[in-house]
Amino acid sequence: MKLWKGRFKKEADPKTNDFNSSIAFDSRMAQQDIEGSIAHATMLGRQGIIAEGESMKLCVELGKIREDLASGLLAIDPDAEDIHTFIEQELTARLGNTGKRLHTGRSRNDQVALDIRLTLREDCASLKAQLKELLAVLCKKAEQYSETVMPGYTHMQRAQPVTFGHHLMAYGEMLLRDLSRFEDAVKRMDVCPLGCGALAGTTYPLDRELTAKLLGFTQVAQNSLDAVSDRDFCAEIAFAASLCMVHLSRLCEELVLWCSWEFRFIELDDAYCTGSSIMPQKKNPDLAELIRGKSGRVFGDLMGLLTIMKGLPLAYNKDMQEDKEAVFDAVDTLKLCLTPLIPMLDTMKVREDNMRAAAAGGFINATDCADYLVAVKGFPFREAYKLTGELVALCIEQGFTLENLPLEKYQQVCPAFDETIYQAISLDRSVGDRRVIGGPAPENVKAQARRVAALLKDEGEEK
Ligand code: ARG
């Protein structure tokens, strides 16, 4: 059954129905569609646009449909044009003419704009909860490994010493920004389009403030054309999801590297790895790789959304039906990725000895050596830099590290060196003295991890 039969003399070709239908992917909004209809029916009754008794009947029956759907008593008809059609038809089948009054002063255009918002509002809430869970694990691990020295890299070359805790908290900062991006997107989405009709509002005396309030919105859309043709919120959420996937992908790339035998910085728990069908020795970080790979589809969702919208004249165009698969896939994929990532990080084994060995072998204390000549011996930095470079070259040539290079050799390059150089280039001192705000000193990292963990806890308690 169609909602729009009157004007047509002929049935639609079944191929038209198949092509046009969105029921396969908008059934996800069934509960939200009913919630919107209950608010609309309540308002119609209060405004005297339909009789109070009929409004009541509509609300009660919509509630029953909601329950019947949830319990499985009522199945969604896969041949319906969309979820809005299906629910209105079911209502009419149950209530007769009263059911036919529900759509007074409403269009599927404002209805669908509302339903997506209500659905994404819930999706964003559960995404935020997952992001907080991941952040909590990162904070816990950061505190635990705040003194674990590892090499920091630039250009994938060992650069300066940091700690594993500091490295993990870098991802913590990214995720904090992701959280605030979702919060922001949800705030801007908090505008109710219901009552904007097909595109030009309506002549019925709707109380838009009331429906907005009943549905938990703080604002009402101020331009009917914009309200039904706006999908900015879908793009914003897909972008927040995309950037978050960039962060997860970078983290996963590092996990893959770190658990390789070349690094052996971490070992992932067996529960989050897979084996090979032919190579008995293999333990593969498939999950981390898949998360890295799935970032591509989320970026694709964002590109799809932007491309769908970019050439559309106002107001509603059927192109916009393509919005849902993209934005729902973006949030679903992010949720899917976060689910195993959280326990995978929580259970990983950290090989502190290998991290320290890598940090000790790569001249990552060369800057500290130059800083020693500056701070203790009064050399200008550029001169100290040059002398240290010569020392490194000598070490490489003769098979030393800065830690085990004999003092005479130091003094061959620069007589100003004395015994105190060894203390100055120790890795723990190098990391421990980097107390500048944002630096890797263990007390900094611990304090930041505790601050973030407390922030998450406070927010959790507010709700
Ligand atoms: N299934 C449609 C969508 O998702 C609902 C809106 C239909 N509106 C219309 N004018 N045909 O966009």
Dihedral in degrees, nearest 10, Cα atoms 175, 179, 185, 188: -140
In the beta sheet, which residues pair with residue 163?
A: 149
**pLDDT at position 149:** 97
Q: Ligand 1 pocket check: which of 23, 32, 109, 325 to mutate, most ligand atoms within 8 Å of Cβ?
A: 109
Residues recorded for the chain: 463
3-state secondary structure of 395: helix
Extended beta strands in 40-139, E state: none
381 phi and psi angles, rounded to 5 deg: -55, -40
User: What is this structure's pTM?
Assistant: 0.94
Q: Name which of 71, 44, 41 is nearest 59 in CA terms.
A: 41
**pLDDT at position 462:** 55
**pLDDT at position 461:** 67
Q: Please, where are the H alpha helices in 259-322?
A: 286-310
* Ligand 1 and 112: CB distance under 6 A: yes
* Single-letter residue type at 177: R
Say whether 166 is catalytic.
no
Q: Name which of 26, 92, 100 is nearest 65 in CA terms.
A: 92
pLDDT in 10s for each residue of the chain, 463 residues: 777 778 888 888 888 999 999 999 999 999 999 999 999 999 999 999 999 999 999 999 999 999 999 999 999 999 999 999 999 999 999 999 999 999 999 999 999 999 999 999 999 999 999 999 999 999 999 999 999 999 999 999 999 999 999 999 999 999 999 999 999 999 999 999 999 999 999 999 999 999 999 999 999 999 999 999 999 999 999 999 999 999 999 999 999 999 999 999 999 999 999 888 878 887 899 999 999 999 999 999 999 999 999 999 999 999 999 999 999 999 999 999 999 999 999 999 999 999 999 999 779 999 999 999 999 999 999 999 999 999 999 999 999 999 999 999 999 999 999 999 999 999 999 999 999 999 999 999 999 999 999 999 887 665 4
Could you give the CA distance from residue 134 to residue 345 in angstroms, rounded to a whole number?
8
* DSSP type of residue 151: E
**pLDDT at position 200:** 97
> Which secondary structure element, helix H or strand E, spans residue 94, and what is its range?
helix 83-95
Say whether 155 is catalytic.
yes
Counts for the chain of helices (H) and strands (E), in that order: 19, 6
Cis peptide before 315 (omega within 30 of 0): yes
* Ligand 1 and 109: CB distance under 6 A: yes
Could you give the CA distance from residue 38 to residue 76 in angstroms, rounded to a whole number?
19
Name every residue whose Cβ is closer than 8 Å to that of residue 459 and which is 6 or more positions away in sequence.
132
3-state secondary structure of 67: helix
C-alpha torsion sign, points 258, 272, 249, 177: negative
Q: Ligand 1 pocket check: which of 18, 108, 317 to mutate, most ligand atoms within 8 Å of Cβ?
A: 108
**pLDDT at position 370:** 96
One of 155, 180, 229, 249 is an active-site residue; which one?
155
